[in-house]
Amino acid sequence: MDTEQRVKKVVAKQLKVNENDIKPGSEFVKDLGADSIQSIELVALFEEEFDIEMDEQAALAAKTVGGAVTFIKKVIEDNGGKTQ
């Protein structure tokens, strides 16, 4: 499963939306209905899913699913490719 699929899986479960409705351009708040608490919870869930630590403010700056995927890939790359 690639990074985008894993992100979509986490988002679908947390926000209770159909995984097929989640696109790279989907905005967490506007399109998927995330509130501020859910956005923070998503950051924590992404950290758990990918076994990484992210700067919360920088992670929250990613407003779209595709933005989150790009951000997570960069964090993994910066950590020397360490993932689960």
Distance, in Å, from the CA atom of 47 to the CA atom of 54, rounded to the nearest integer, reads 7
Please tell me the total number of residues recorded for the chain in this structure: 84
Catalytic residue among 21, 35, 55, 78: 35
Query: Could you tell me the sign of the dihedral formed by the alpha carbons of 24, 75, 56, 43, in that order?
Result: positive
Q: What are the E-state strand segments in the chain? A: none
Can 35 be counted among the known catalytic residues? yes
Supply the DSSP symbol for 64: B
Which amino acids are annotated catalytic?
35
